[in-house]
A and B are shown apart, each in its own frame.
Chain A
Amino acid sequence: GENVEQHPSTLSVQEGDSAVIKCTYSDSASNYFPWYKQELGKGPQLIIDIRSNVGEKKDQRIAVTLNKTAKHFSLHITETQPEDSAVYFCAARGGADGLTFGKGTHLIIQP
Chain B
Amino acid sequence: DAGITQSPRHKVTETGTPVTLRCHQTENHRYMYWYRQDPGHGLRLIHYSYGVKDTDKGEVSDGYSVSRSKTEDFLLTLESATSSQTSVYFCAIREVDEQFFGPGTRLTVL
Residues of A at the B interface (CB closer than 8 Å) are 1, 6, 32, 34, 36, 42-46, 49, 51, 89, 91, 93, 96-104
Do A49 and B97 have beta carbons less than 8 Å apart? yes
Docked complex: B26-80 residues within 8 A CB-CB of A: 31, 33, 35, 40-45, 48, 50, 56, 58-59
The reply to whether B40 and A103 contact each other, CB–CB distance below 8 Å, is yes
Which of the residues B43, B48, B50, B102 comes within 8 Å of A101, measured between beta carbons? B43
- CB neighbours (8 Å) of B59 from chain A are 1, 100
Q: Interface of B with A (CB < 8 Å)? A: 1, 31, 33, 35, 40-45, 48, 50, 56, 58-59, 90, 92, 97-104
- Would you call A98 and B48 a contact (CB within 8 A)? yes
Majority SS of interface residues in chain B?
Answer: strand
Q: Which residues of B contact A36 (CB under 8 A)?
A: 101
Task: Sort A-B residue pairs by CB-CB distance and give the 10 closest, nearest first.
Answer: A98-B45, A43-B101, A101-B42, A103-B42, A101-B43, A98-B33, A44-B101, A32-B97, A43-B103, A98-B48
Q: Which A residues are CB-close (under 8 A) to B43?
A: 44, 89, 91, 99, 101
CB-based contact B56/A97 at 8 Å: yes
Chain A residues within an 8 Å CB radius of B41 = 103
Q: A97-B58, A98-B48, A101-B42 known; A43 and B97 CB under 8 Å?
A: no
CA of A49 to CA of B99, assembled, Å? 10
- Residues of chain A lying within 8 A (CB to CB) of residue B31: 96
Q: Which of B33, B40, B43 has the most CB of A within 10 A?
A: B43
Q: Which of B56, B90, B92, B98 contacts A49 (CB 8 A)?
A: B98
